[in-house]
Amino acid sequence: MTTEATRRVSRLEVFIARMTAQKTFLEEVAAALDVPGPVLELGLGNGRTFDHLRTILPDREIFVFDRSITAHPASIPDADHMIVGEIRDTLAFCGPRVGALAALVHCDLGSGDPTADLVKRAWLSPLIAERTAPGGYVASGIELEMPDFEALPRSADAERGRYWLYRKT
Ligand code: SAM
């Protein structure tokens, strides 16, 4: 017999857990952020998390990366802070434009495909690690492999929704 405890978790439930973990992580980090530096938002998408970040971190500069701009018109960064292109290229070469290392990198590039996410992890992890300030945080929808970072404890929503939080040591 399938009970509430044994049945499979539906994609809707994974999505809700993911959004809950994402919001919780970003708010926890915003409250704890104690290093200077900008925020890097990897994946503008609809602009929902960009809009949330600028609401909870009004004094931080936020640079947003995406290969194209498809966001809601109310959630598009100004031209100085929107970095358009393939993140593999733009993140590697954004230093002169972004300036200081990031206090927070939010990586929302997960595809939901485990193989594609493994490929992304391989090229993305060193790029994110290099652009993060010591003491800075990374919240990510892809599990990353960054030797100089501590993986922080995850809630049940983060486990179920596949969201990770790291801090650079
Ligand atoms: N954070 C967004 C929000 O709250 O609305 C959702 C981001 S959406 C899941 C992922 C975005 O990342 C897409 O807009 C896609 O174009 C962008 N993206 C994915 N891989 C990319 C890459 N390698 N380079 C540039 N942009 C990429």
* Best mutation site among 14, 26, 44 for ligand 1 pocket (most ligand atoms within 8 Å of CB): 44
Distance (Å) from CA 108 to ligand 1 centroid: 6
Kindly list the protein residues whose Cβ atom lies closer than 6 A to any atom of ligand 1: 43-49, 66-68, 70, 86-88, 108-109
Residue 27 reports pLDDT greater than 90: yes
The domains of the chain, with CATH numbers, are 11-168 (3.40.50.150)
pLDDT the model gives residue 2: 63
- Say whether pLDDT at 110 is over 90: no
Residues 160/14, Cβ–Cβ less than 8 Å:
yes
Q: Is the pTM of this model over 0.90?
A: yes
pLDDT band at 25 (very low <50, low <70, confident <90, very high): very high
What is the 111 CA–ligand 1 centroid distance (Å)?
A: 9
Q: Ligand 1 pocket test: which of 88, 109, 123, 162 has the largest number of ligand atoms within 8 Å of its C-beta?
A: 109
User: How far apart are the CA of 68 and the centre of ligand 1, in A?
Assistant: 8
Q: How far is the CA of 96 from the centre of ligand 1 (A)?
A: 23
Lowest mean pLDDT: which of 32-46, 69-83, 128-142, 150-164? 150-164
Q: Mention every residue, 6+ apart, whose C-beta is less than 8 A from residue 143.
A: 117, 121, 162, 164
* Res. 4: pLDDT tops 80: no
CA–CA dist 62, 42 (Å, integer): 10
Residue listed under structure tokens 């486990």: 159
Nearest CA to ligand 1 atom 7: 45
**How do strand 164-168 and strand 132-140 relate by DSSP bridges?**
antiparallel
CB of 98 closer than 8 Å to CB of 40 = yes
Flag whether the ipTM exceeds 0.95: yes
One-letter amino acid for residue 168 of the chain: K
**d(Cα 47, Cα 54) in Å, to the nearest integer?**
11
In ligand 1, which atom is closest to the CA atom of 41? 1
Q: Report the percent of the chain where pLDDT is more than 70.
A: 98
Q: Is residue 1 over pLDDT 70?
A: no
Ligand 1 center to 46 CA (angstroms): 9
Find all residues with CB under 8 Å of 117, minimum gap 6, and list them.
Answer: 110, 111, 142, 143
Among 58, 57, 76, 59, residue whose Cα is nearest residue 68: 76
